[in-house]
Structure 1
Amino acid sequence: MNSATRRVVVGLFAVLAWMPDVLAQDMSSSRRSGHLLAYREPTEILQPPTPEGGITIDELEEIALANHPGIAEAYGRVEGARGRWVQVGLPPNPQIGYSGQQLGSRGFAEQHGVLVQQEIIRGGKLRLSREVASREILRAEQELAALEQRVRTDVRSAAFAVLVARRQIELNMELVAIAEAALANVEELLAAKLASRIEKLQAQLEVQQAQVTLGNSRNRYASTWRSLTAVLGQPGFPERSVVGELVPDVGRLTWEESLANLQSTSPEIASAGAEVERARSALARARAEPVPNVTVQGIIQRDNAIGGTDGALQVTLPIPILNRNQGGIREAESQLGVSMQAMRRLELDLQNRLAPVFERYDNALAQVSRYRDQIVPTAEENLKLTRQAYDAGDVNYLSLLTAQRAYSQINAAYVESLGEYWHARTLIDGLMLSGSLSPPK
């Protein structure tokens, strides 16, 4: 083997020895550039608070974020995307093998050697593949952020449902007490022969009806609590008093501000934007595909014919004259257009989803304000005055019964409007993201 051949073979082995250092530097620089995005580990499972006292909605959110199985599921997808980023940037492994020629010459002309072969990726294809993978990481992280927001929305919605159910129990207990007091009053008047048995029967029916309604409200409370514990990811979470204020004391939302906030901060929009960038990077990768890779092979062998050692060097590359990845490029261009239209469709879909929810919010807020400031105080005063008039004998029992029923129905409607208000408000504040326990699409 002459000196020129020796230099080529030595250079080949130097290239192979240099490849791991290049890979390590590439991964290090990619970490610095943000392609390997750091992401926090799921926090440890939080324990329920001590039985003393209640639990706030913020504390419930923290418990749900730490225990919700969907969070761990989405985090696993982020880790999978990070693994793909590592894998797609790795160069092919070098190959080593045995070479034997002239094997039938009874040892006179046989050639035995060791070959080393390496494929060299050209056109920046490894770098471009990692560009695509980095966009997939970003998309997975935005999907995780969307799921976390879904969890928060579901927790807040369920917590306010518990508060509403609790207020309904309190209201129905009050109505039972009012009905029982009216029954006792009727019985006293009946004993004094100032009331009829019909009035007593009507009063008894009102008590029984109020007790049935109270039982239903207790069942509803149990149901809302079970739904809350499911969202928390802890079905056996012990019952606690949820600390929160039902009567809204926050500012009024406007349609323009709500829509602008939704379209600018929604994780769904961010995920769609990441998909557009992924498709753009995939197009660049498809256009680099026709750049041919180079395969270098070096052989060092013992040549019995000359009684010495020689070598061989072979360099090959495909000629892209038939297959220039025309179909792949066309597909990537199409996917980029699809992703851009999908993002536009999502923006319109968010507006479409927000519109009916904002209508319910507007209606509920108007109802809450009217009930709180005018209707409920009027019903309370009407019941008070009617009861006094009935005790004085100025009105009959039917008037008292009508006032009691009006008070009951008005307060029940007030509580329902509070529940509707918070359901709509939590959806708007939660960027229209809910349903954290539903399977991912």
Structure 2
Amino acid sequence: MRRTCVPLLCAALISPLAHGQAATPVAVPPAPPASTPAASASTAGATLTLDAALQTALRQNPLLRAAEAEVAASRGTIDQAGVRPNPTLGVDQEDTRRETRTSTVVLSQPFELGGKRAARVELARRGREVALADLAIRRAEVRAGTIYAFFEALIAQERVRAAEESVGIAARGTAAAARRVAAGKVSPTEETRARVAEATTRIELRQAQADRQVAQRALSLVMGVAEAALGPLDGSVDALPAPPAGDGLAQRVSQAPMLRRAQREVQRADAAYALERARRIPDVVVSLGATRAQEVGRTQPLIGVSIPLPIFNTNQGAQLEALRRRDAAQAIAEAEEQRVRTEVQQIVDMLQARASEAQVLRQEVLPGAQSAYEAASRGFELGKFGFLDVLDAQRTLLQARTQYLRSLAEFNRAAAEFERRLGNPDDRPDAGTQP
């Protein structure tokens, strides 16, 4: 029997807030390549800056690595979408007797019509863009979590320092009261009050130390490193830059990760609708083969074409479903844009309010409370004031410090939320990437 060879070619497709102290509260530098040496967080005892914490978190956070793996997996989806259908080899034999049997060999090759293959590839590409948008969201969340955890730990570190100063202030007050009691100028009750106040500040110091440990654990968790690898934090809690406004804010909102993802979902839904429209056109199957009839003693060629008739099924239901899903994705994108703009403006208002509050506390309340305490202490030692006046001034100073640190914490919490909503436009995973 003569053999008929039909060459088939298959094509392979697709090669592939930083919360800087003098900038906007969420503009941070991009993460370094994987080959970059570990930041200072990897060396126990070294100071840890916000930049180093961000680089370490973006490199080692396990959830971020999972999102990066999803992006890598989407490339396989694109490759698979561009593969042509495999041919089918069929062998038939009629009769089992050698003298009268007939053997048929047929090679069938489907040919996709209507642009199905291109539509599949486009849908896979849009899916990869969604995966990249998810990665951008994850990066924004990791960065925001790192900013929040870093400043929480930094403020907790500042609280410990302030509590230690408060213990020193209370100890000096106790010593002054003891001297006055020894001199017979005040009642021993004054010394008792002073010692109670000092004990209270020591309790607050222990609480501040415990809060610092909790904050450091949270920071090590988001960075993906051991707590022992964290050294003293290097940063300033007093520098509060103004939040972006005007055209700069509008541009940041337009590049918000959640908004970009919603837009990518609309594009993917549109690509899915185009694929369903392409599927309404039936494919053609071309067959080539040969039949060997032993009785007649010769081989006959076979050529066939098979085309389904779209009489009952024109894929109309799938087209309607895809069209409505595209409409739903468009509506969700519009709602997401409105939500992002509203929430970002609320965060900006909160940043401005907290910044103003912290400025007043730093420039007016704290200096006034410090002066009042110093005057009351001197007056008590000179016998002009009672110790209740000293305690009242001391309590006012400590409350002002606590309120100031609380205001800073609220500001940095809002700055981290600002970063989570808008991300960093200079650190987009899909920037310059061809899907």
Regarding TM over 0.5, the answer is yes
Q: Does 1:46 align with 2:44?
A: no
TM alignment of 1:69-88, pairs within 5 A: 69-88=62-81
Cα distance, 1:264 vs. partner? Answer: 1.2
Change (3 A) 1:56 1:89: same
Equivalent residue in structure 2 for 1:277, among 267, 273, 296: 267
Cα distance, 1:41 vs. partner? Answer: 8.6
1: distance between equivalents of 2:292 and 2:115?
38
What SS class does the counterpart of residue 334 from structure 1 fall into?
Answer: helix
What SS class does the counterpart of residue 242 from structure 1 fall into?
Answer: coil
Residue 195 of structure 1 corresponds to: 186
Give the AA of the match of 1:68.
Answer: N
Q: Does 1:358 align with 2:348?
A: yes
TM alignment of 1:84-163, pairs within 5 A: 84-101=77-94, 103=95, 106-163=97-154
Change (3 A) 1:244 1:67: same
Residue 156 of structure 2 corresponds to: 165
Residue 20 of structure 2 corresponds to: none
Residue 65 of structure 1 corresponds to: 58
Contact 1:81–1:136, Cα closer than 8 Å, also in 2? yes
Residue 317 of structure 2 corresponds to: 327
1: distance between equivalents of 2:392 and 2:244?
37
Equivalent residue in structure 2 for 1:263, among 249, 253, 266: 253
2: distance between equivalents of 1:61 and 1:41?
13
Residue 376 of structure 1 corresponds to: 366
Q: Does 1:227 align with 2:230?
A: no
Cα distance, 1:357 vs. partner? Answer: 2.8
Cα distance, 1:62 vs. partner? Answer: 1.1
1: distance between equivalents of 2:34 and 2:331?
34
Cα distance, 1:351 vs. partner? Answer: 2.8
Residue 282 of structure 2 corresponds to: 292
2: distance between equivalents of 1:275 and 1:429?
22
Cα distance, 1:238 vs. partner? Answer: 2.3
Residue 36 of structure 1 corresponds to: none
What SS class does the counterpart of residue 243 from structure 1 fall into?
Answer: coil
Cα distance, 1:262 vs. partner? Answer: 4.0
- Tell me the C-alpha RMSD between the 2 structures: 2.3
Cα distance, 1:257 vs. partner? Answer: 5.0
Contact 1:44–1:66, Cα closer than 8 Å, also in 2? no
Change (3 A) 1:167 1:159: same
Give the AA of the match of 2:256.
Answer: S
Cα distance, 1:410 vs. partner? Answer: 0.5
Residue 6 of structure 2 corresponds to: 13
Q: Does 1:386 align with 2:387?
A: no
Change (3 A) 1:249 1:417: closer
Q: Does 1:185 align with 2:179?
A: no
Provide Cα deviations, 1:88-134, integer angstroms capped at 9, x if missing partner. Answer: 22122111131213x16x44432123221111111110110010010
Change (3 A) 1:91 1:44: farther
Q: How many residues align?
A: 408
Contact 1:179–1:206, Cα closer than 8 Å, also in 2? yes
2: distance between equivalents of 1:306 and 1:331?
56
2: distance between equivalents of 1:335 and 1:429?
31
Contact 1:112–1:302, Cα closer than 8 Å, also in 2? yes
1: distance between equivalents of 2:229 and 2:46?
13
2: distance between equivalents of 1:41 and 1:215?
41
Residue 305 of structure 2 corresponds to: 315
Q: Which has the higher helix share?
A: 1
What SS class does the counterpart of residue 13 from structure 1 fall into?
Answer: coil
2: distance between equivalents of 1:336 and 1:220?
49
Cα distance, 1:260 vs. partner? Answer: 1.5
Give the AA of the match of 2:148.
Answer: S
2: distance between equivalents of 1:412 and 1:257?
36
Change (3 A) 1:134 1:87: same
2: distance between equivalents of 1:119 and 1:181?
92
Residue 210 of structure 1 corresponds to: 201
Change (3 A) 1:134 1:366: same
1: distance between equivalents of 2:266 and 2:409?
39
Structure with greater contact order relative to length (CA < 8 Å, sep ≥ 6): 2
2: distance between equivalents of 1:397 and 1:236?
44
What SS class does the counterpart of residue 311 from structure 2 fall into?
Answer: coil
1: distance between equivalents of 2:172 and 2:302?
109
2: distance between equivalents of 1:156 and 1:184?
42
Cα distance, 1:249 vs. partner? Answer: 4.7
Residue 433 of structure 2 corresponds to: none
What SS class does the counterpart of residue 239 from structure 2 fall into?
Answer: coil
Give the AA of the match of 1:74.
Answer: A
Cα distance, 1:417 vs. partner? Answer: 0.7
Which has the larger displacement, 303-312 or 423-432? Answer: 423-432
Contact 2:148–2:412, Cα closer than 8 Å, also in 1? yes
2: distance between equivalents of 1:354 and 1:91?
47
Which has the larger displacement, 396-405 or 353-362? Answer: 353-362
Equivalent residue in structure 2 for 1:303, among 287, 293, 296: 293
Contact 1:262–1:431, Cα closer than 8 Å, also in 2? no
2: distance between equivalents of 1:117 and 1:45?
56
Contact 1:45–1:66, Cα closer than 8 Å, also in 2? no
Identity of aligned residues (%): 24
TM-score, normalised by the number of residues in structure 2: 0.88
2: distance between equivalents of 1:90 and 1:41?
33
After the TM superposition, list the runs of 4 or more consecutive aligned residues in structure 1 that deviate by more than 4 angstroms.
Answer: 40-45, 256-259
What SS class does the counterpart of residue 337 from structure 1 fall into?
Answer: helix
Residue 56 of structure 1 corresponds to: 49
Cα distance, 1:189 vs. partner? Answer: 0.8
Contact 2:44–2:228, Cα closer than 8 Å, also in 1? no
Which has the larger displacement, 196-205 or 43-52? Answer: 43-52
1: distance between equivalents of 2:182 and 2:73?
80
Residue 37 of structure 1 corresponds to: none
